[in-house]
Structures are given as structure tokens and as C-alpha cells.
Chains A and B, each alone.
Chain A
Amino acid sequence: MEKPLTKNIQPDRAFATLADYESTGGYLGMRKAITDLQPKEVQQWVKDAGLRGRGGAGFSTGLKWSLVPMDADAPQVRYLVVNADEMEPGTFKDRLLLEKDPHQLIEGIIIAAYAIQATMAYIFLRGEYHLAAQRLAYALLEARSKGYLGKHVLDSGFSLEIVLHTSAGRYICGEETALLNALEGKRATPRAKPPFPLISGLWGKPTVVNNVETLCNVPHILQYGVEWYQGLARCVDKGTKLFGASGRVKYPGLWELPMGTSIREIIEEHAGGMRDGYKLRGFLPGGASTDFLLPEHLDVGMEFDAIAKAGSRMGTGNIIVLDDKTCPVQMVLNLEQFFAQESCGWCTPCRDGLPWTVTLLKDIIAGKGRLEDLDRLAGLTRMLGPGNTFCALAPGAMEPLQSALKYFREDFERYIVGHYDEVGVV
């Protein structure tokens, strides 16, 4: 099985230097793009390859690039921004790519910037990722010394600067328009859309925001071609992806696997199944903001549409496992506390609805809940759902709650009815 994204990650070295990276064909994709292909052709390759964004939303990467206005009368300043603000609870894939193989990302950035003819790229990195920052800074110097960055990349007419920006920490910075505000030195509140960043982004200029893992796919598409890339997957989605599992499984970890790999294979084979004494109760397939699924969904493949059909989202593809000895109501409380804390406070449903959700859950757990509270929580999942907020934070926060109410209702009721028993109301 081919593993293009992780082929340079080896246990006997801390990270891949420029020499390590080039010894396995690194920067050949960039050479091909800049030397042999027009920007529009690069966009087409990535579109044809079927690469979809790995940050969670799954939008076609090549299509996104092709929507950037590039006519002669379009703005001549364009930006590429790398979303390296990995902070979705339960997600640990981009850190690996950043720390272990920084040149793979840099090559992806150069190709993407060439495709949209951006001469400036920003890497928006989580402030907490200190090791990644060191390795990236080192790799950027190496790339510059080789003439891969700066004026006239590979002696072509294309020039590119990459700036590494480290954030000061806030989950909402992962939302692309909030990220742009943070880069501009503002509070990271999302922006009203439209206009979309592709038309008016950083400092009002056309801007593409791509996730780290997404860009790491790009060099391989250019180097080995569209057909090869499509052949990696086991489903309609293309390529490989870093899938992970955390929680009470035997071997929590991260594995590069073909798109379409079944959740059962990830949890039972790669993660070794549940730890002794624990049973699988359910799981969040792709981070904190995805709906719970149950053991009956284990045979669903990790592909965007299949997981949507099962009632959740692939999200980041890093599975959080719920075991039979962890209370799902308390788990949901932990998730909602996170979202309530990280809400930027810009729009009312999110700013007020999330603390209300937390209060209701705390009351239920403390034995002060009533059965009507479950209807109230269900009402909140609709009020904070898609269409009522400026960004996806609140709708994302409602996904684990709405599915927990559906699948684990008896756990909620046990807290409530138990209390009624005590005070003799029933």
C-alpha cells in the first residue's frame, strides 16, 4: 500500500531535512508545475485528481483555486494562506505532518501559490505548536537557500515569499474568515459572507485558505499524476488520508490509509480494538464537531458522502472513541464547555445558546434536571443549527449533542428520573 504523505516519516530520525526530502523525489512536483505547466493547468490537475479539502469541509481543492479571479483586470495581489491552526478536539494529524516533514508542506505551498499566482503566502500556525514552528522555520531557510523561495523560483518568472505566523490561540481562528482577521491583527471573529475570501480575503485581496494536510497531497499529484493519485483510494473520494483513533482503544494512533477505509478497520485493526475490560459504545468520526455514530456504523467507509449518509461527517478523520464506562452525557458536557468557551461572541445564538446548553447539561448531571430540559436541549440544537449563525462553530457544537440525544437518551433520562425518585416526585 502506497503512503505518499508519510513516506518520509521514519522512526530513526527526528524529521526529514531538505536532503532527506529530496532523496525520495521531493520538490520534483514543484519543478514539473513551474517548468512544464501553466497555472490553470496545475489547477486542472488537482481538480481532476479529486482532492477534497482535509480540514473538514471537503471542498474540491482544484475547484477552489479555479474560482480565484485571475484575468488581466482582476486584482494583481493574491494571497495563499495555510490553515495550520489545528485545534479541533480529538485531532492530531497536522502536527505530525508539520513536525516530521515540513518540506512536504512547503512544496505544496509553492505549487498552490503558483497555481493561483500568489507571490505571498502565510502559514497560520497554532501558537502552541512550538516544535512545528522551529522545524518549519528551519525548513523555510533550507528551501530559500536552494532558490525554491524568494525572487524567481527555479529561475522562472514566478516569485514567492512565505511568512510563518504563530497564533496566540483561539479555536475560532480555524474558521477561515476569522483566521484572516487574526492575520490582520484583529479579534478573530468570522466575517459575513459573501464576499468569500476567494474574492475578497486578506486585506481585501483574493485569498485561498487551504489546510495543511490538503497541501501535503499536492506535490504527489504533480509528481506522479492524476491517475496514480486516483488509484490510491478505495472509494469515490481520492487519495490517502491520515486517520486516527483516540480514547480507550489498545493502540491510539494515526495511520495513513486509503480514502474509503472502513471505520471498523481503523478501530479494530489499526487501533487494535478496545482495551481489555471496555466495550465500544459509540464514536465521533472526525473530531468534536461531528455527530456520534454507533457500533452498527463500523462498516461505513471513511468517505465524505458515506459518512454523511450515516448521519455524521468525516470532519478531520480522527476518531474519538466512546467506551461503555464513560458517561456520554458528561462527554457531551465536556464538548459543549469547549465550544462555549471558544465561541467568539459575535452572534447571539452561539454566544448565549452555548452557555445555556452547558447550564442545562450541568443541571441534569447534578440531578436538578427535568424531562422538559431534553426538549429544551433539542430546541437549542435547532436554534444553533445551520443557517442561524455567521459561521459553523455553533452548528458544529450541536452535532454531538443532537446525536447524543438521539442515541443515548436513556443516559440523560437516568440522571433526571433518578433525581425524581429521590425527592419523591414520581
Chain B
Amino acid sequence: MKMQNKNPRIEGLSPTEIQEINAEMSHYEDKTAVSIEALKIVQKHRGWVSDDCLVAVAGFLDMAPAQLEGIATFYNLIYRRPVGKTVIHYCNSVTCWMMGSEQIREHLCRRLNVALGEMSEDGEYTILPIVCLGACDHAPVAMVGDELKLDLTENAVNEFLGR
């Protein structure tokens, strides 16, 4: 039961990150089980998961970097490229699509002058598609940062963008 890790490669992680990852480890049978949590923790502090961070986390969890990369690229909410301070996830699943999500996407991209996945010039925003956000009775919807925005219209978009 070697949970605390003294691998030299952990130098890429901050003390806070290491503390948070260790706290997660207590909930699981083995330390590789926290790989996804660990990536999320790093991303929470740094905005995205760089190659260096990925190698550092893999080293900390005694995993091969390639194995962790396979996990990092599998999940929709792990970013392997830099993103804006706020990520706007607009829902493109069936009900939102029927209720006008394409127009919302076009409006968002035009307003921020970005294509999907790009960072806005001021580094504030990235727009990404996301699957059904479980609010179909208020379609179309989007998640702005952690916050769900319902019944979207172009005006509502202007309002939360403040521009």
C-alpha cells in the first residue's frame, strides 16, 4: 500500500496539486484509479494539460505516459491544448439542434471571432460542442464555465458575453 509517492518526476506538479491528488487516492483501491481525477486537478489549476504535466502526472501515478495519454484523449472534458479562461460548451444534441443550436453556435463564433476549439484573441473564451446537457426542456442550452445557460437566444448570448 504505497500511496504517498516520492518519484523524482513529480517536480512538475505543485504542492497543492500533489495534495489534492493524494486526497483522491484515499477513495480508491489503487492509485492508477485517480488518473482521471489527477488530470482534472491539474487542468483546474492550469487551464489545460500540457505534455510536461501529462508526463509529471504519469510519473506520479507510476503509469507510462502513453497509457495516461490514451486516457487524457479519451474524455471530452480533458483539454490537451490551451483553452480560453472560460470554455463555452454549446449543446449540439438532438433537441437543441431542433431548437436552433446551429444558430447559437454561429452567433457565438461570430461574436467572439473564433472557430470551434480556437481561443479568442484576448484569451477569454473557447467554444466547444458538447453532447446533451440534460436540459432539453429549455433548449437550446450551453454551459458557460460551470454554469448552465437555458433557453438561449442571440440576445441572451450577448448578455452573458457582455459584448
Give A residues with C-beta under 8 Å from B: 86-92, 94-95, 126-131, 163, 165-171, 182-188, 203, 244-248, 252-254, 288, 318, 320, 323, 326, 331, 334-335, 338, 341-342, 344
Identify which of B94, B139, B143 contacts A338 (C-beta below 8 A).
B94
Q: How far is the CA of A254 from the CA of B134 in the complex (A)?
A: 11
Sample of 6 further A-B pairs with CB below 8 A, known A185-B33, A323-B98: A87-B134, A89-B132, A92-B135, A188-B75, A244-B136, A288-B94
Contact A170 B130 (CB under 8 A): no
Contact residues in A for B32 (Cβ distance below 8 Å): 184-186
Contact B93 A90 (CB under 8 A): yes
A168-B77 contact in complex given A90-B132, A129-B134, A246-B137, C-beta closer than 8 Å:
yes
A89-B131 in contact (CB<8A) = yes
Question: Judging by beta carbons under 8 Å apart, are B138 and A252 in contact?
Answer: yes
Q: Quick check: A91 and B136 within 8 Å, CB to CB?
A: yes
A370 to B112, CA, bound (A): 40
Q: Render B119-163 as a binary contact track against A, CB cut-off 8 A, 1 for contact.
A: 000000000001111111111000100111000000000000000
> Which of A244, A252, A326 gathers the greatest number of chain B CB atoms within 10 Å?
A252
Q: Which of A90, A167, A342 contacts B136 (CB 8 A)?
A: A90
Give A252 to B151 CA distance when docked, in angstroms.
11
- Which B residues are CB-close (under 8 A) to A203? 29-30
CA of A396 to CA of B75, assembled, Å: 21
Interface string of B64-108 (1 = CB under 8 A from A): 000000110011111000000000010011110111000000000
Let me know if B136 and A320 touch, CB within 8 A: yes
Q: A92-B134, A244-B136 are in contact. Are A185 and B99 (CB under 8 A)?
A: no
On whether the beta carbons of B95 and A187 are closer than 8 Å, the reply is: no
A-B contact pairs, 10 of them (CB 8 A): A89-B93, A128-B130, A168-B36, A169-B76, A185-B28, A185-B32, A185-B37, A187-B71, A248-B99, A331-B97
CB-CB < 8 A to A186: which residues of B?
32, 35, 71
Determine whether the beta carbon of A246 is less than 8 Å from that of B95: yes
For B74, the chain A residues whose CB sits under 8 A away are 170, 187-188, 344
B27 within 8 A of A: yes
For the complex, give the distance between the alpha carbons of A323 and B94 in Å: 13
Quick one: closest A residue to B71, CB to CB? A187
Give the contacting residue for A288; candidates B93, B134, B135; CB below 8 A: B93
Q: Say yes or no for B34: interface residue by CB 8 A criterion.
A: yes
How distant is the Cα of A208 from the Cα of B75 in the complex, in angstroms? Answer: 24
A165 to B36, CA, bound (A): 10
Closest 9 pairs (CB-CB, A-B): A168-B75, A246-B136, A169-B76, A89-B93, A252-B137, A185-B35, A89-B132, A185-B33, A169-B77
* A358 CB to nearest chain B CB (Å): 14
With contact pairs A183-B33, A246-B136 given, residues A169 and B99 touching in the complex (Cβ less than 8 Å) = no
A91, A185, A246, A252: the one within 8 Å of B36 (CB): A185
Q: Are B93 and A334 in contact (CB under 8 A)?
A: yes
Residues of B within 8 A of A320 (CB): 94-95, 136
Report if B39 contacts A (CB, 8 A): yes
Q: Are B78 and A168 in contact (CB under 8 A)?
A: yes
Q: Is the pair B75, A167 in contact by a Cβ cutoff of 8 Å?
A: yes
Name the residue on B nearest A271 (C-beta).
B137
Residue from the list B75, B136, B146, B147 in contact with A252, Cβ < 8 A:
B136
Known contacts A244-B136, A246-B137; A131 and B148 CB within 8 A of each other? yes
CA distance A131 to B64 in the complex (A): 34
Q: Which of B27, B29, B39, B139 contacts A168 (CB 8 A)?
A: B39
Given contacts A128-B77, A167-B75, A184-B32, contact A326 B98 (CB under 8 A): yes
Docked complex Cα distance between A169 and B74 (Å)? 9
By CB atoms of chain B within 10 A, which of A87, A126, A203 has the most? Answer: A87
Considering the chains assembled together, what is the distance between the CA atoms of A203 and B147 in angstroms?
34
Instruction: Give Cα distance in the complex from A129 to B133, angstroms.
Output: 8
Residue in A92, A182, A254, A342 whose Cβ sees the most chain B Cβ within 10 Å: A92
Residues of B within 8 A of A342 (CB): 131
Q: Measured between C-beta atoms, what is the minimum distance from A174 to chain B in Å?
A: 11
CB <8 Å contact, A128 and B93: no
Chain A residues closer than 8 Å to B146, beta-carbon distance:
130
B94 engages A254 (CB within 8 Å): no
Contact of B134 among A91, A169, A185 (CB under 8 A): A91
List of A residues within 8 angstroms of B97 by Cβ: 331, 334
- Assess A318 versus B136: contact at CB under 8 Å? Given A89-B131, A183-B33: yes
What is the bound-complex CA distance between A224 and B146, given in angstroms? 38
- Give Cα A392 to B35, complex, Å: 26
Q: Which residues of A contact B99 (CB under 8 A)?
A: 247-248
Interface residues of B in 7-57 (CB under 8 A from A): 27-30, 32-37, 39-40
Complex-state Cα separation, A256 to B134, whole angstroms: 17
Give bound CA distance, A90 to B33, whole Å.
31
Residue of A nearest to B95 (CB): A246
For A345, the closest partner residue in chain B by CB is B74
How distant is the Cα of A168 from the Cα of B44 in the complex, in angstroms?
12
- A76–B107 Cα distance when bound, in Å, is 56
Q: Which of B29, B78, B94 contacts A334 (CB 8 A)?
A: B94
- Min Cβ gap B91→A in Å is 9
